[in-house]
Structure 1
Amino acid sequence: MTPSTGQDVRHLWPPTFKAAIFDFDGTIATTAPLWHEVDRAFLGARGIAMDVEYSRRLNILGFAAGARYTIERYGLPESVEDVCLEWERMARALYETKATLRPGAYAYIRALRDRGVPVALATTNGRGVLDAMRSVDLDEIFDVRVHAGELGVTKDAPDIYLKAAELLQASPSSCIVFEDILAAARSARRAGALVCGVRSGDANQDPHELRSNTDLWLDDWRDIAPVGKCA
């Protein structure tokens, strides 16, 4: 039986893990709609309608792998580099003014660091896109950042979580991973980490399916003490 949200939250504070690894889009940031906007505009310009399967697949692939998938799926004449550059240009413009963290996320990450728990970002998003944000400095929040594209990996394999744990100088089994995507959560489990599924509010997420494939569950970052006091 899956534990209730209240029981799950008690496992998150005080922390029972040695290090924490966070996904970005959807998990700690309200940015999933921005990527839907990019996908719709990119495909729409080519007379293609976006579907849920396509969007979910891109979530775990990142830029280069996602571009290859897109080109092959739709028979596009563009190169991987051209597609990636267009995506990054469109995303940077949106992230610069619209990307924000979810309420309570920063407070929880800050509380972990204040308690001596190292934290990492593990994302399929591009460094250039995230660095375009005006609302937050991720280098100030996280001890390390791991971008799937820079490693040449995707989130349907555990490599990105293993690398994040290595950089944090922690064993994977001593880490917790926060994820909002089913395939990514399964990969984090294969890495040996404790996995907390996070409700994103994105229509593409199936909360019941994700919750049944994770160790813990979180509806809202503000549910965690001491976050509720300062979020």
Structure 2
Amino acid sequence: MTGAPRDGARLPPAAAPLRLWPPSFGAAIVDFDGTLAETWHLWREVDEVFFSSRGIPFDEDASATLATLGFAAGAQWCVERYHLRDEVADIVDEWNRLGAALYETRVRLRPGAEGYLRSLRSAGVPLALATTNDPHVLGAMRHVDVRSLFDEVVCGREVARGKDHPDIYLEAARRLGAEPAACAVFEDILPGVLSARRAGMRAVAVGCDDPRQPRTELQRAADAWVDGWEGLAEASRAR
């Protein structure tokens, strides 16, 4: 999804300007891949291996679609689109194995991300991670402990639909005990920003290194845009 949404007019009207520090929101829901860690190139490696092993030319658009759908829905999508004989569960296991091997030593948080998250928690803002990634892959990381950074972690397998629907953000808000209107969602993909806005949440679009990121559309759809975390971390340290 790279163009401006046809139904953008149905998004809730913008509320008062969103302040990121000091925070003007009561709870924060944060994506992982792209937003907190630059991992698009790792998942591209996984996709290239997956498609190549089945004699399918690498498809950039398919790779972007899988990033939105998550593991089980993405595997089902691949089975139907490419008429694969694989079982969905076997594809998910394959992606988990490949992803965990890459994440184990190669993933670190983006500069300033941990500092800003810890400042939010110190200010009394509860945090939830909302990721289409799998617990097995997240748990393989040696350099990032998401459980120590977030009050709640919601993975794509725990909700019915991908980030083109608001399910994962609503579940994160529910676990935090927060009303949607009190939440700010930090995301790097357009479907996630649009879903958060339609759920009545504020949306912060976070720039990343993925060359496929539709920056203009994200800046238009979100309540706020940031290029990264370092400026936010510096502002929170200056409090």
- TM-score range relative to shorter protein: over 0.9
Q: CA RMSD in A?
A: 1.6
What does residue 122 of structure 1 align with? 130
Q: Does the 8 Å contact 1:107/1:227 carry over to 2?
A: no
What does residue 98 of structure 2 align with? 90
State the SS of the aligned residue for 1:15: coil
State the SS of the aligned residue for 1:129: helix
Distance in 2 of aligned mates of 1:27 and 1:50: 24
Query: Sequence identity, in percent?
Result: 50
Distance in 1 of aligned mates of 2:18 and 2:125: 17
Listed one character per residue, the Cα deviations across residues 144-200 of structure 1 (whole Å, up to 9, x for unaligned) are 001121223211111111111111111000100000000111011111100000101
Give structure 2 stretches of 5+ with no counterpart: 1-16
Listed one character per residue, the Cα deviations across residues 8-34 of structure 1 (whole Å, up to 9, x for unaligned) are x98210100000000000001111111
Listed one character per residue, the Cα deviations across residues 3-60 of structure 1 (whole Å, up to 9, x for unaligned) are xxxxxx9821010000000000000111111101100111011121222211111111
Listed one character per residue, the Cα deviations across residues 75-134 of structure 1 (whole Å, up to 9, x for unaligned) are 111010110010000000000011111111111001000111000000100011001000
The partner residue of 1:158 within 166, 173, 192 is 166
Alpha carbons of structure 1 residues 153 and 10: separation in structure 2 relative to 1, 3 Å: closer
What does residue 6 of structure 1 align with? none
Please list, as runs of the form range in 1=range in 2, the aligned pairs for 1:77-226 lying within 5 A after superposition: 77-226=85-234
TM-score between the two structures when normalised by the length of structure 2: 0.89
The partner residue of 2:53 within 8, 22, 45 is 45
TM-score between the two structures when normalised by the length of structure 1: 0.92
The alignment covers a number of residue pairs equal to 222
Distance in 2 of aligned mates of 1:220 and 1:157: 25
State the SS of the aligned residue for 2:65: helix
